[in-house]
Structures are given as structure tokens and as C-alpha cells.
Amino acid sequence: MRKLLFFFLLMSGLNVVAQNPFPRNDVEDDRSGRYAFKNGTVHIDPFTEITNATLLIEDGRVVSVKENGTIPNGFSITDLKGRHIYPAFIDPYSTFGMPEVKDGGFSWGKKEQITSPRKGPYNPNMAIRSDVQAAELFNFDKKKADELRKAGFSTVVSYHKDGIARGKSALINLAGEQTNEMILNANAAAHYSFDKGSSTQDYPASLMGAIALLRQTFMDANWYKETNPYFDLTLEGLNNSMNLPQIFEVEDKLSVLRADKLGDEFGVQFIINGVGDEYQMVNEIKETGASLIIPVNFPKAFDVSDPYIAMDISLAQMKHWEMAPANASLLHQKGIKFAFTADGLKNLSDFLKNVRKAVDYGLPVEQALAAMTTIPAEMIGANNVGNLRSGSYANFIITDKELFEDDAIIIENWTGGDKLIVNDLPEVDLTGYFTLNVGGEKFQLVGKGSPAKVSHELKINDSTKVKTKSSWKNDQLSLSFDHDGSVYLLSGWKSDDGFKGKGQINSEWITWSANRDSTYQKKEKKEEEKDINIGEMIYPFVAYGKKDLPEQKTYLIKNATVWTMEDDGIIENTDILVEGGKIVSIGNNINSSGAEEIDGTGKYVTPGIIDEHSHIALDGVNDVAVNSSMVRMKDVVDNSDINIYRQLAGGVTAAQLLHGSANPIGGQSALIKMRWGMSPEKMLIEDADEFIKFALGENVKRSRSSNSIRFPQTRMGVEQALVDAFNNALDYERKWNSYNELSRKDKERTKAPRKDLALEAILEIINEERFITCHSYVQSEINMLMHVAERFGFRVNTFTHILEGYKVADKMAEHGVGGSTFADWWAYKWEVRYAIPYNASLMTGAGVTTAINSDDAEMGRRLNQEAAKSIKYGDMDPYEALKMVTINPAKLLHLDDRMGSVKEGKDADLVIWTERPTSVYARVEKTFVDGRIMFDSDESEAMQEEIAEERNRLIKKMLKVKENGGDTQEPSRNGQKNFHCDDFYYQF
Amino acid sequence: MTSITNFNSNSFEMRILYIVLFLIIGISSISAQVPSPGEAQSKPILITNITVHTGTGDVISDGAIVFKDGEIVSVGKSTEVDAPEGATEINGEGKHVYPGFILPNSKVGLVEVESVSATIDASEPITISPNIRSIIAYNTDSEIIPTLRFNGILLAQVTPTGGLIPGQSSIVQLDAWNWEDAVVSMDEGIHINWPMAKLPPRWWRNETEWRDNEDYDESINKIKELFIDATAYSQTDPTDENLKLEAMKGVFDGSKTLYVHANRAKEIISSLSFAVENGAKKVVLVGGADSRYILDFIKDNEIPIILADVHRLPMRAEEGVYDPYKLAGYLTNQGVKVALAYNSVANSRNLGFYAGTTAAYGLDKEEALKLITANPAEILGLDNYGTIEVGKSATFFISSGDALDMSGNEISHAFINGREVPLEALQQRLYEKYKKKYDLK
């Protein structure tokens, strides 16, 4: 209804303008703005074109488009002479006219910013800015507007690129007498991102924090609407914009999925502004049902002429260079709706050029045009832009030929009836082969190029050519050149068969003429080999990604030595049958007709290794709120981390991906299997129990930052922070309980309590629906947390790192908590000064379920060796030692009913080793996950070769671009994230 | 409580008691944490019934060793070795004896706790400081040292870090009263940290790509200027001593090794060509992660490599998953002299398992052993160490199993220059203490 009303207001705009309220300094000069364009091809929309059309516009609006339409009196007529008119483009994602945004940065090592420094009745978090209205901030920039218009745009959606919730954008026409007129809709869309922009507030510091904050904000908005607990301009703004199109900006394809999933939780379908890598996860993106806004800023080829520099360009970067132009086409083939944006282009003139490239890569032209006109219009619910139907804005471009022909040029851009000349086409044709008679001499003059862009040269003979300067301006031709030591300056006008005029040779006045002998024949450009081979897609899109997912076959491993990790112990000469992803049988001489046999003679088979503490495969690790129990590592799983494959190469099949240890209460864990090639969602272990990271000690108390002001800064304070969280959670539960117990009538009269995702997570711990893995080192703090837990009636599940666990192992056993520790790390900080490598042996001896974990992508791939260190330190039996990386972590993660041992009915997560698995000499031959061979050492070597070949192909192709004078970019290597508990850094 | 308040603390008996208590507690805690160095060898020692891994590539099963005054006097099959007069005999019980492992490029004794700056003496904030000498800060009582001995590491190169030229390293033996006592080779080398041409992204600035190191050229110039000035200085006999230029002298006359630290291909080439062209007589590459890509250059110039790390991730996603494990073997098989170092000081006790890993990935086990014995000895100029051969220092240890494998490395005896050195220290004492508490056997 509102939209309809708005439309009527727009339609009646004619009258509003007629009664112009703006002061003027002249007589009234209201012209009708009636223009007629005839003899052209008018594309009313991408799927409707009229040839020999007449387009009538009046007062900035389209009156009609008719084939050979009659032109009423009072219209200025332009003869298009066969040219084309298209609806002008709409950029649905622009910051046109918006103020610059300065990045808020992160207070790393400085004084923390805990509360929002924004003054006024705004949201408690500075990155939530739904109160912002782009229309209020709008400042017309004529220069930029003209640039956009020259690129073919008439209309943009301008949003303020600041914050996680960014408020409302405005739909803006790029021309008009007054700003008031240009803003077609001040409530175009609501905008979001995962980037906190100018916010200097610490939380959220991570992607999962941003997601958690937005999740809580949507809940808060709902609660605010229902209970009006206080005045909050931001939540008012958010609630007011919920009925608008919701546009979400993301930084990669994974976040397309993340944004959509978040929207699903609240019944919101986001339109997602991606970065152009969506083709890499096209199937998953299709499933979201989201429409996309995609850029056309295709990467330039890398300058790979130096092999040592080329080496640093990843396969993914190279393949993306090759495939990026096919993004649109691949999305279209999948039936994903998308609009184009010029966002991200350094040079606006590349917009059309690159859309044409997308067309070369298989995107149908109608679809390309729709993605620039009707689709963006539809996305923001505007039906009077992006087409040339009667009543629509007279926003169009005139081109000399079909828009998608390579050399078609935009001649004019009309926006709301305002004309901008983009390319001043001479009315005369300056091309052709002329005989130039000048001062008694005859030369051949050649006008080359297209009418829009002509250059002239003098051909003296076959080998001698003289460059000339020429221009056509104000109906006059100027032509000058140097020849035989003489300077020729000629000026002339049109004649019947060419040009003639007066001029000077070395200051002597002469007359001249140039008669056209024939028209210019464009030299058939050597059909520029448009190499649109885009290579093969791999999943995930990095080196060692595979073309197809390994199959879940029936496998029979024959005659191996099996370390069962069950009471059966080590059994020799044993067969294992794997079917449907499960271990079906274990025994001697198993026969299975359909099974693929794997000879295990001389080999060792163990269950897959489970890493209780890992930070691989994540797009973030630490957030900073003292209690960040609302952040979820599940939200930020990155399935393309090469370290997943590397873990498989070390026999690791499952891991707990933990939040970091920057705060006492960290975030919720993600339990994954190393399902290389699957989506993040599918990597998560089905129906696993929920875990959460806690942390104690030096990291939590910010020992390394002397500027920190954040509470707590001592172990004493940490206890209080924890008790406080549990108390608050109980209080929260009481509030909800008493509210829920109210009668329906009373409920209507009572304000509902606020849903608090942090407290809910804490409450789950008390209710034993969520389990703690606590980063801890020294005995005092370990003791403390056990007491806190007991006080609130639950048990700590696991102490991780726990290097002084050996000092309180008896208490741990009594409490029932497990220990997941490092084999021999110590002395890297003060609190691990008394860490000893006998810790695992002592804890095991005292009856604590003990695991060895990695916290490190490198160590994670040789956890068998780390476990074996307890043989040296504490004389542990090798078989017991291996339990610390198989069945014991499975127990700690409550997965021992389906993983962690070789047992019939369990998941077929298996490793085949070349030697006794506790030996430093043991290598992984094959790693199975759910009965799929996810890693095979021979295959891996073959893939290394294939990768080299593929790189070679791409390098050759890039070198060719350079040879042919194409644009290249300096190679710049992508950083690889490598997370640890403490913080994160990039590998080098 | 009452007994204490009623106590006359000035009584003679009490004072005696205090002193005795103090001595007991004091001595036991000192010996628990920092055991006294072993005493000099007074009698010849014969080890029999042992498998000798000589460090030269040979293995002598059923072997025997005799050493006297800290020097090996006889090695061979048990049947070939005679016991000297008055020798103490150690029955090797079929165990293994290995040359003491040598840990190059280490901050041992300079860094105690990596995150506590007061415990760190490894780097000056000066970019060019060849005059800095690590040896005088070397703390023989570092609690890290016994953990190295416990795993078979008996010698280390104490190396300063930080800046472009952090200073000079020295080689120490790892059981000493003080640094004078510890030193095996004083100020034996100068180190250059070649700057990186590209720097990793700064995540806190939302960077995702590597960027140019803007200081690269300036840094290179600083290094060049030092070499030019030092060359000139070394040709004269100036009365005004310039500490930095004086320190550089040895680089040009071959008395000091130039250790060039670089990991990435381009920087390895730049740094090594620089070192060779600027008159350094002995050049060693430290780091060398990308060395497989510039093998020809390394071979042509006969440059040995100290690989900084084995247990590391590949430099690039495209590389073979096990490439870092395979690198030492690859280089060795190509004829390059390779030694292994360890990146973090606290974990460097795992050096032996680095070698074990290289053996799992393509290297013969005895060749792998060389990477941490004979090869570092040769690279660091320790003629007397690194192998079990007649005439060499009696610096070796006995392990019940394969010392390169964590499931076999269990050391019962270790000798440095013939002195039997203590193996157990704080960590073992804590182990015993809690084993007792939990009544474990």
C-alpha cells in the first residue's frame, strides 16, 4: 500500500515541479522539456525492442514509444538514424554522494573501547546504525554524477557504507534541478554488512562476533517493538526499515551463505552484494534463494614474468582470474537472479566493457541488460526506472549500435530529461581514402577508425606514412602535418565529395581539397582469440581441491594390523569392511564381492585422529567481550582452508574448532569432520553436543597489554566474572520463568524480558545442555573453575592445555573433568613455567580422561607423534598413548559412540599407516572420512603434479596477455590466516 | 600456632636447626632445578655391548667405545676394542650411542620465558650491531638447558636476533658453571637477517594481501655500507677502534662465518650473492625454506644450509603437503650440506625428532642423524665434535632406543668432553613428586 501511495506521489510529481517552491533569481523559465527521437531502435526493456521507433518524452518522463509514431507539435526532434536507445543503467549498490568513512580499527594493545562512544539515544553498539538515512547525508557530486552517466547510469541506490546495520539507502537520479528532485525514494532499502566500519568499539572484533551482534540486534528490535522498554533511535530505524528490501554486503562467497542463514533465522530474505566469487559455491548459493548484486571488477592478469614472484600467486588467485568473467554466466545457468554493480571498479568506463566480457563468457545479452536495468529496479521495488514504458523516468542512453557490440559507444545519456553528451559524434564522416590536393602536390589521406574516433595519416608511398593531427569542431576540419621540412596547417569545410578549404604551408596561404575516393575498410582485426576456456572447477577452490567428491564406496582393507582402541587391543592380520560410510565388520578372511580391496599387509590401521583443540578452517578466532558466549564458531567455518587437507594428510578426521582465549567466556564451538570439498554446513558433525570455550590465566587477564583497562585483569577478577555470568543467567531464567507462568491476559499487560543470547548460552551450561572446554594452565585457576561449576551444580567437561593438570589431577578425576593437553610445550609464557612433559602420563595415571591436542595447524597433522611423547615421558604404553588422540578426545567431545575406535557400526573414519602409528617414521597412506578416501598419499603426489601443470597453463595464458599489451597487475600474494588460541597471525 | 609464638628463635639450637633446614632446602631445590655440572673425567671409561651410530653414516652393532681425558681413544666392534688399565666399564645393555646432538641458531640461555621481556636477552633495538656478542649473556643456569640434555642435545650455537645484523654467535657445551666454562667456539660467526622484500598482511588493518616492504632498499643499503666500510677498515690498522667494523674483520679473513638468514627464494638469492660478492669467506644460509627452488645457485657456491624448521607448514598451499618434511632429504640427496635448527627455544629439545621426520620422508636414518651431528659440526667449524671417532671429543649419549624417535629416545648417560653430565632436573623432580602423590609406579 505504501509503495502504491509512493508511486502516485511520484506520478503527481509533474505538478509539484510546476509549483516550484525554490527561490529563483530570474523570471520563471519552465520549459516543457518535450523531445522526440525518431528512426531509432528503442529497447523498452531487455526483452522488448521496437525498430523504427519514435520515443516521446516530456518533463523528464517517457510519454510513449511507438513504431513510426507521429510527433505532435511542440517537440524538438532528433533523428537517431538507426541508433539505439536503451534504458539507462541502475547501480543498486553505490556510495554516490555519501560521506567518506574512516575505518575504526581495533584497539589492539591499546586502551579498550568497551562502550559505544556515540552520544545520543542510539544503540549500545556503535556498529549498529539503523538510524542512519542516506538521504539525509546525501551531497550531490556533479563530477562523479557525470562519470556515472558517461558509464551509462542514470540511477543509483546510495547507501552509507558504515557499520553492521547501516540504515536506509536512497534511490537517486543522477540529474535534476534540485537534490529534492533527484531523490526518487528516501527509503530504498535497508543495508547490512559484517564490517563494523567506523566503530571504535571493540566488540565485535571478529566475523562471528558481527554475526552474533546482528542476530541479537534483530531480536532486540522485535522485543523493542513489542515492549517499548526505552527509547532507541537505532532500533526505531531498524523496525521502520524491516519492510524494505534488505541488502547485505559480504566479503566472500562463504559469507553469502552466512548472511542468508542469518536472514533465515528471522524470516528475512536478504539481497546479497557479493564480490564476484559466487561461482565457486554456486550450488549452495542457489539453495539460499537469494538474489545477488555482483561486481564486474574482474581481476587483471598477474605479471608472472618472474618465476620467483609468480610462485607466490596461489592457484586459487590464478584460477579466479580466469573464471571471474564467467561468474555471471554460471550464476545465470543456475537460475540465480542477479544485478550488476559498478562497485569496486577503479574506472567506471570498465563497467560496460566488463559486462560485455561477461557476455563473451556466455551470459545472454538480454540477461546482461536486465542485470543493469530491470532486475536492480525490481530489487528495490521501483518500476519507473530501468525501462522506457510510459510514465517511467526518461532515463536512457543512446548508442551508435547494439550495446553489446564490442565497439558500440554511448553517445548521450538522458537522465530525467537532462541530456549529457557522452561522445560528441561529428555529423560528418571523416573516415575514408581521400586524394589530398595541396599546394600542387597530391597525397593519399587515410581517415581510419570509426566515425566516433577517427585518426588521419598521410600515405606518401607504401613505406612512408606521415601522422597528422586532425579534428572536427564547429563544422570545420583542422588538419596539420610535417612533410619534407614543411609545416602544413589546413582548415576547411565540407564539400560535395569530401572537404576543401584554405591553409598555410610554411606561412604561405594556399587552397586545398580532399576528395573521397572510397570508404574506409576496417582491417579485419585479427579475430582476437577470445580464449574463454575457464578451466575446471575444483571444490574447494584452492590447491588440492578436487573435481569430484571422493565416493562413499564399499572398501575391504585386507590383512592389516589394527589398533582398535577398544578392549580388543591390537589385532593382527585383520580385515575391515567399510560400507555406507560405516565400519561394517572386522575379522579374518572377510569376503565381500562388490568391495574395493585395499591390501593392508604390513600396514597399520587406526581410527581417525581427533583433535580436541583446533583453530583451522575458521574465518576468525577471537572476539573480545568478557562474555562472548553468544558468538558461534559454526557461523564462520571456512571449508577452503588448505589446513583441512593437511590435517587429513596427518590422519586427522575430526576436530573441535574453538573460539580463542582472549576472554574468560569465549564462543561456542564447531565440531567438524575433515570433509574436504564439502560446504561448511556439511562439515559440521551431525547432532553433536554443544560446546563452549572458557579461558583462564594470562590471555584472559591481558597480561601482555600494559594499556588494558578491561576487567578482569587478575585470576581473582576472572572468578568474579564467571560467577557473575552464571548468576545473571540464573536471574535471567527466573525472569523468563515467571513471565512464562503468567496467564495470557497478564502476559499482555506485562513486558516480556529481553532475549539475551549470551545468557541463554550460559544457562545451557548450567542445564548441562552445553559443555565447557576451558583453556587453563595453573593449578589455582583449575581448582577455582571446578569450584565455580560445582557451586552452580554442573561439571566442567574438559580443561584444555591444562599444563599444570598434573598438580591437581586427583581433584580433576574426582570432579570428573577430562584434560586435553600439549605433549611437551612449555616456557613460552610465565604460566607454563612449571609445565612438564609428564603431564599426560600423570593425569592418565590419576584417572583423568586425557587427550593430546594441537591448537596449531602444523602440530595437528602429527598428533600421533605428540601422543607418542608420553612413551618417552612417563613410560606410557604405546597403545594407551594413541588413545589420547583417538578414543579419548572422542569421549571428551561426546562422540565416542560413533568415532574414536575401530568398531563395527562406528563411522568409517580410518587411517592406514606405513608403520607403527606411535613411531616418528609412520606416514599416512590413506585417510578415510565416513568411508570416503579423503586423503591418499599417492593421489596427493599426483595432484601436486597436476597443480603444477594447471599453474603452468595459467601462467602461459597470463604471459600472453602481457605480450598482447593487455593490462596486468603486480603479483600480490594472498595472506594465509593461521590461527592460534592467543590471537591470530598470517603465515609467511 | 602456640608452639611458634613460644619458640625462642634466638636459641642456639634453633639457629642450628634453621641453618640445617636452609641448607637442606636450599641444596635440594638448587639441585632439583639446576643440577651441578658433571665433573671432569678422571678415569678412562669403556662402554661395551652397544650399537654405535658414529654420525659418519656408519653403524657398529655390538660395539664398544673407550674414552680417556675427554677424548675418544677407541671405537669398534666389542671384540676389537680393549679395555685400558683402570677403566670404568659401562655395560651398554644393547642400547645405542649417538654423538651429542648439536643445536644451531638457538636462543638458548638468552631467552627463558618467551613472553616475559625481563627474561629475554636476545635482541638489541639497533639495526646494525655486529659488535654484539651473545656469549656474555648466555645463562648456564637456564632451566631450558637440562631439558635439551635430557633429549641428547649437548652443544648449541647461542645466537642473537633482531635487526638486520644482530651480532655474533658462540658455540657452547650445555653443561657448565658459567659462560667461560661453557664456550666451545667464541664469537665464531656474524649473522645477517636479510630483509623481506614483501611483508605479510597486517590483519588488524584489514589487509589480506602481502605488501611491499618500503624499507627494503634502505635496509639493503645499510648492510652494503657496513660491508664496504668494514672491508676498507680491515685493510688498515686504525688507532681509533670502531667496534662495529672491528667485529666484521673476521668475515673477510675467514675466521668468522657469515650466517645469512633468509627463507624466501628471492631473498635467498639476493642475500647469498651479496655475501659471496662482498668478500665473506665462509657463508652459511640459515632458514632456507625456499632453497629447493634455487638449488643450482646453492650448489655452485657450495653453501651449506641450516634449515630453521622441519615441523612447519608448506610455504604455499600448492606445495606438497609434506614438502617441509622432505626438504632436508631432497637437499642432502642433491649434495648440499644440511643441518637442522629449531625455531622456538623452549621446544628445541625436539631436534632429534626433526631428524627422525626427515628420515620418515626420504632420508636414510644415519644420514638423518648427520643433520644434527656431523653436519652442524662441520658447518659451525667444530672439528672436534659431531661424530664418534678416535681423536674426537667424548661427547655422546646412550639411548635405550632409536634417539630420533620419540618412542625410542630414552637417555641413560650423556657425556660432554668425557664428563658424565646430569640428565634429570626440575621437570623430572616434579614428575617424581607427583608420581608419589598419586601413588603411581
- ipTM, 2 decimals? 0.93
Instruction: Give B-chain residues touching A824 at CB under 8 angstroms.
Output: 347, 349-350
Interface of B with A in 222-241 (CB under 8 A): none
Least confident of A191-195, A450-454, A931-935: A450-454
Minimal Cβ distance to B346: which of A826, A846, A974: A826
pLDDT band, very low/low/confident/very high, at B12 (cuts 50, 70, 90): low
- Mean pLDDT value of segment A812-826: 97
What average pLDDT score do residues A298-324 get?
93
Residue with cell 583417538: A886
Most confidently predicted of A13-27, A522-536, B135-149: B135-149
B206 Cβ contact list (under 8 Å, min separation 6) = A103
All structural domains of chain A with their residue ranges: 246-379+937-988, 432-518
- Give the mean model confidence (pLDDT) for residues A952-973: 90
Give residue A981's pLDDT: 55
- Chain-chain contact of B350 with A921 (C-beta, under 8 angstroms): no
**Which pLDDT score, from 0 to 100, does residue A231 have?**
95
A827, B265: Cβ pair inside 8 Å?
no
Res. A504: pLDDT tops 70: yes
CB A299 within 8 A of CB A324: yes
Q: What pLDDT shows up at residue B41? A: 95
Residue A494, judged by CB atoms within 10 A of its CB (0-12, 13-18, 19+), counts as: middle
Asked whether residue B277 carries a pLDDT value surpassing 80, the answer given is: yes
User: Measured between CA atoms, how close is A943 to chain B, in angstroms?
Assistant: 9
Query: Among A490-504, B89-103, B199-213, which is the least confidently predicted range?
Result: B199-213
Contact B373, B102 (CB under 8 A): yes
Residue A74 has φ and ψ, to the nearest 5°, of 90, 5
Q: What is the pLDDT of residue B343?
A: 86
User: Cβ of B206 under 8 Å from any chain A Cβ?
Assistant: yes
Task: Mark yes or no for CB contact B210/A830 under 8 Å.
Answer: no
d(CA B316, CA A642): 9
Predicted confidence band of residue A464 (pLDDT cuts 50, 70, 90): confident
Q: Are A480 and A457 in contact (CB under 8 A)?
A: no
Please indicate if any CB of chain A lies within 8 Å of the CB of B195: no
Q: What cell does A69 get?
A: 509514431
Alpha-carbon distance of A927 to A598, in angstroms, equals: 12
Instruction: Look at residue B18 and tell me whether its pLDDT is greater than 70.
Output: no
Strand extents, DSSP E, A825-936 = 850-852, 910-913, 924-929, 932-936
- The whole-number average pLDDT for the span A633-641 is 97
User: pLDDT tens across B172-193, in order?
Assistant: 999 999 999 999 999 999 999 9
Please report residues of B whose CB lies closer than 8 A to that of A311: 265, 293, 316
The whole-angstrom separation of Cα B4 and Cα A595 is: 80
* Average pLDDT estimate for A143-155: 97
In angstroms, the CA A274 to CA A343 distance is 10
- What is chain A's alpha carbon radius of gyration, rounded to the nearest angstrom? 35
Beta bridge partners of A850: A819
Put simply, the answer to whether B201 touches A975 (Cβ < 8 Å) is yes
What does the block give as the cell for A616? 583451522
Per-residue pLDDT at A682:
98
- What domains lie within chain B, and their CATH numbers? 34-100+386-441 (2.30.40.10), 101-385 (3.20.20.140)
Cα B135 to Cα A565, B80, B178, B285, B383, distances in angstroms: 50, 42, 10, 21, 20
Beta strands A690-695 and A670-673: pairing type?
unpaired
- In contact, A909 and A930? CB cutoff 8 Å: yes
Grid coordinates belonging to A307: 618465476
Cβ atoms within 10 A of the Cβ of B89, count? 14
Name every residue whose Cβ is closer than 8 Å to that of residue B385 and which is 6 or more positions away in sequence: B99, B100, B102, B155, B184, B377, B392, B393, B395
CB contact under 8 A, B353 and A649: no
Residue A520 or residue A758, greater confidence: A758
Q: Is the minimum CB–CB distance between A107 and chain B shorter than 8 Å?
A: no
DSSP secondary structure string, B354-384?
Answer: HHHHHHHTT--HHHHHHTTTHHHHHHTT-TT
Q: CB distance from B440 to chain A under 8 Å? A: yes
Confidence at A628, pLDDT banded by 50, 70, 90: very high
What are the grid coordinates assigned to A555, written together?
572398501
Answer whether residue B3 shows pLDDT above 70. no
Going by C-alpha positions, the residue among A882, A885, A883, A819 that lies closest to residue A847 is A819
pLDDT mean across residues, chain A:
93
> What is the C-alpha to C-alpha distance for residues A851 and A596, in angstroms, rounded to an integer?
34
Question: What are the strands of the beta sheet with A609-614, ordered from one edge?
Answer: A609-614, A652-657, A670-673
> For residue A353, what pLDDT band results from cuts at 50, 70 and 90?
very high
A864 with A917: CB under 8 angstroms?
yes
Choose from A106, A652, A921, A952 for mutation: most chain B CBs within 10 A: A921
| Nearest one of A893, A895, A956 to A318, comparing CA atoms | A956
Please, how many CA atoms are within 13 Å of residue A934, restricted to the half-sphere of its CB?
31
Per-residue pLDDT tens over the stretch B325-378: 999 999 999 999 999 999 899 999 999 999 999 999 999 999 999 999 999 999
Residue with cell 536472514: A263
Q: Which long-range contacts (CB under 8 A, 24 or more apart) does A12-17 make?
A: A13/A181, A14/A59, A14/A61, A17/A59, A17/A181
**All 3 cell numbers of residue A441?**
602536390
pLDDT of residue B14: 52
Which pLDDT band holds residue B15 (cuts at 50, 70, 90)? low
Instruction: Please say if the pLDDT value at position B254 is more than 90.
Output: yes
Residues B199-241 have pLDDT tens digits of 888 766 667 788 899 999 999 999 999 999 999 999 988 888 9
Question: With contacts defined as CB-CB under 8 Å, which chain A residues touch B404?
Answer: 920
Which cell is A927 given?
Answer: 585417510
Q: What is the pLDDT of residues A876-897, one digit of tens each?
A: 999 999 999 999 999 999 999 9
CB atoms within 10 A of CB A536: 10
Average pLDDT over residues A252-279: 97
- Quote the pLDDT of residue B306: 98
Give the closest residue to A47 by CA, choosing from A271, A296, A367: A367
**Alpha helix segments (H runs only) across B134-215:** 144-149, 179-182
Window 334-363 of B, Cβ < 8 Å to A: 344-347, 349-350, 353, 356-357, 359-361
What's the helix, strand, coil split of chain A in %, to 5? Answer: 30, 30, 45
* Mean pLDDT value across residues A655-661: 95
Contact across the interface for B409 and A108, Cβ inside 8 Å: no
Does A14 have pLDDT greater than 80?
A: no
- pLDDT bin (cut points 50, 70, 90) of residue A432 is confident
Is the predicted pLDDT of residue A222 greater than 70, yes or no? yes
pLDDT for residue A604 is more than 50: yes
Predicted local distance difference test score (pLDDT) of residue A631: 97
In this complex, is the C-beta atom of B327 within 8 Å of any C-beta atom belonging to chain A?
no
Span A39-94, pLDDT tens digits: 999 999 999 999 999 999 999 999 999 999 999 999 999 999 999 999 999 999 99
Q: Which of B405, B412, B429 to mutate to test the interface with A (most CBs of A within 10 A)?
A: B405
Burial class (CB in 10 A: 0-12, 13-18, 19+), A466: middle
Task: Give, in order, the Cα–Cα distances in Å from A148 to each of A151, A347, A384, A551.
Answer: 5, 10, 19, 50
In terms of Cα–Cα distance, which of A280, A305, A276, A306 is closest to A292?
A276
What's the confidence (pLDDT) of residue B2?
Answer: 36
In A, which residues are within 8 Å of B206 by CB distance?
103
- Residue-level pLDDT at A980: 61
**Who has greater pLDDT, A28 or B268?**
B268
Residues of B with Cβ-Cβ distance to A846 under 8 angstroms: 438, 440
Q: CA–CA separation, B285 vs B192, rounded Å? A: 10
Give me A561's grid cell: 594390523
Percent of residues, chain A, with pLDDT higher than 90: 78
Overall average pLDDT of the A458-463 stretch: 80
In this complex, which of A106, A807, A871 lies closest to B406 when CB atoms are compared? A871
Test B430 with A836 for CB contact under 8 angstroms.
yes
Architecture of domain A432-518: Beta Barrel (2.40)
Q: In whole numbers, what is the pLDDT of chain B averaged over residues?
A: 92
On whether the CB atoms of residues A975 and B203 are closer than 8 A, the answer is yes
Look at A829 and B210 and tell me if their CB atoms are within 8 Å: no
pLDDT tens-digit profile of A551-561? 999 999 999 99
Is any Cβ of chain A less than 8 angstroms from the Cβ of B412? no
Region A107-118 average pLDDT: 87
Contact at CB, B438 and A845, closer than 8 angstroms: yes
H-helix or E-strand containing A657? strand A652-657
Q: What is the C-alpha end-to-end distance of chain B, expressed in Å?
A: 37
